[in-house]
Amino acid sequence: MLKNSIITIALPIKLLLVFLLLVIVSGCSSKKNPVIYYNKFDFSQVKSYSFYTSGSDFFDSQNLSHAQRSGIELAIEKSLDAQDFHYSELDQADIIVTYHLVKKQPQDYVNYNKAVLFCSHCLRANAWQQDNGDWQVYRGGLIIDLVDPVRKRSVWRSIYPLKFKTKDNSKELNEKVLAAVDIMLTQYPDR
């Protein structure tokens, strides 16, 4: 009799635990990365993009190898081209795409923010929209900014963890960058 009572009580508890586990897993898997943007910028008018060239404040704001820069820029081009944006010369682009790989030197991040005129205090203003999650900067995160070429200031920002490992080969590193960039840029505001 006691054995049957324990089984009768244990079965609903197991079902409840399985249900809670499913809720937690589905909640984690559907979570998007944080995106913040200036909601007074007309994103619907953007058709073309470009990158800053070497020698610009952006380019000099962090120490990345040419291979790292090329990998990130190729991933950005692939993602934006798939969304029907097209590459343009810098002086004719509707938006300028910048990026930053967060390392352990905080001064690099400060210099990058100055280069793209990103103001974290401005996020509290009504003109900034935070789509999802809490905005946090963390080591190993890739930041992408979309810069208004007229005002030379960031109007959209996203961050995503690259989770590089020391044992990763170049193919694995590139795959992580491609996936991160695609996840971030597919959250571009509706056009």
Domain ranges in the chain?
1-31, 33-185
Other CB atoms within 10 Å distance of the CB of residue 161:
14
- The class (CATH top level) of 33-185 is alpha beta
Q: Give the mean model confidence (pLDDT) for residues 160-188.
A: 90
Do residues 88 and 49 touch, judged by C-beta distance below 8 A? yes
Please name which of 121, 183, 188 lies closest in space to residue 157, comparing C-alpha atoms: 188
Report whether pLDDT(10) > 60: no
- Mean pLDDT of the residues in the chain: 80
Q: Give the mean model confidence (pLDDT) for residues 8-33.
A: 43
0.75 exceeded by pTM: yes
